[in-house]
């Protein structure tokens, strides 16, 4: 550990191997108990984005679920974490060491894992989660979400994943996805994997009810 870096209580530093060993990476029909939320490290231009993040954090906590997220205290990431914590919820963050050292990490989480790379961050967040939900965010949010979708297409997991379309934020993206479908770059059953909604409660209910399609496994987990 670099000198001069103080990690808050509840921080785990090191390898993610033990989590992989016990992870339920291939989804099941069990209710979603831990929700991975991808969202922006900025608040965005519309106050509705922060309102939605607060609502999601509150909903996850009040329903007795665990919030898993990128471990930051800034932007919508901080809003969703603070909302869940204020409601007595369990919040687990995963953050790369470099961001922790720049004091971006949240200091009051139930559990905070410090990892060595962005890839390890995404892998551990996936291992710790039963489902995935994207709120408004930028290219980092999109990269995380689309990798989760790609893993499902490759048969690596059958967990539910959805977009919370706050104030029409994802309307243009959804139109683009339909364009991919029309032009033969996205298959119908892969498009059908994506859950979309404007109401957080209804979307999480849909995640609970999700049944993954049968998808051949193209590569192994250690090949990602």
Domains of the chain as residue ranges with CATH: 33-213 (3.40.50.450)
Residue 213: what pLDDT? 82
Across-strand partners of 196? 163
Ramachandran angles phi, psi of 122, nearest 5°: -65, -40
Share of the chain above pLDDT 70, in %: 83
Identify the helix (H) or strand (E) that includes residue 95. strand 90-96
Lowest mean pLDDT among 26-40, 87-101, 111-125: 26-40
Mean pLDDT over residues 49-67, rounded? 98
Tell me: pLDDT of 1 over 50. no
Mean pLDDT over residues 60-83, rounded? 98
Distance of CA 184 to the CA centre of its chain: 28
Report the relative pairing of strands 194-197 and 90-96 from DSSP bridges.
unpaired
Q: Where are the beta strands (DSSP E) in 5-70?
A: 11-13, 34-38, 66-69
| Token couple for 222 | 């250690």
Mean pLDDT over residues 137-142, rounded? 98
**Digit-coded pLDDT (tens) for 179-209:** 999 999 999 999 999 999 999 999 999 999 9
Residue 224: what pLDDT? 55
Q: How far apart are CA 67 and CA 220, in angstroms?
A: 27
Q: At which residue do the structure tokens 């519309």 appear?
A: 46
**Digit-coded pLDDT (tens) for 6-43:** 344 455 544 333 333 333 334 445 789 999 999 999 99
Q: At which residue do the structure tokens 């921080």 appear?
A: 11
């Amino acid at each position: 550990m670099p000198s001069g870096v103080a990690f808050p209580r509840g921080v785990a530093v090191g390898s993610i191997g033990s989590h992989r060993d016990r992870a339920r990476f291939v989804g099941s029909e069990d209710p979603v108990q831990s929700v991975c939320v991808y969202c922006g490290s900025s608040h965005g231009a519309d106050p509705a984005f922060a309102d939605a993040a607060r609502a999601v954090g509150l909903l996850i906590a009040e329903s007795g679920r665990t919030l898993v997220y990128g471990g930051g205290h800034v932007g919508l990431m901080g809003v969703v974490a603070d909302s869940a914590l204020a409601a007595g919820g369990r919040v687990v963050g995963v953050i790369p060491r470099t961001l922790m050292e720049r004091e971006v990490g949240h200091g009051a989480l139930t559990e905070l894992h410090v990892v060595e790379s962005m890839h390890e961050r995404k892998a551990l967040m996936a291992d710790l989660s039963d489902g995935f939900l994207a709120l408004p965010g930028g290219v980092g949010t999109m990269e995380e979400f689309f990798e989760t979708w790609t893993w499902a297409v490759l048969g690596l997991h059958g967990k539910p994943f959805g977009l919370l379309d706050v104030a029409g934020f994802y309307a243009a993206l959804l139109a683009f996805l339909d364009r991919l479908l029309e032009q033969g770059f996205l298959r119908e059953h892969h498009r059908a994997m994506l859950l979309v909604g404007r109401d957080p409660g209804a979307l999480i209910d849909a995640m609970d009810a999700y049944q993954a399609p049968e998808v051949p496994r193209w590569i192994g987990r250690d090949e990602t």
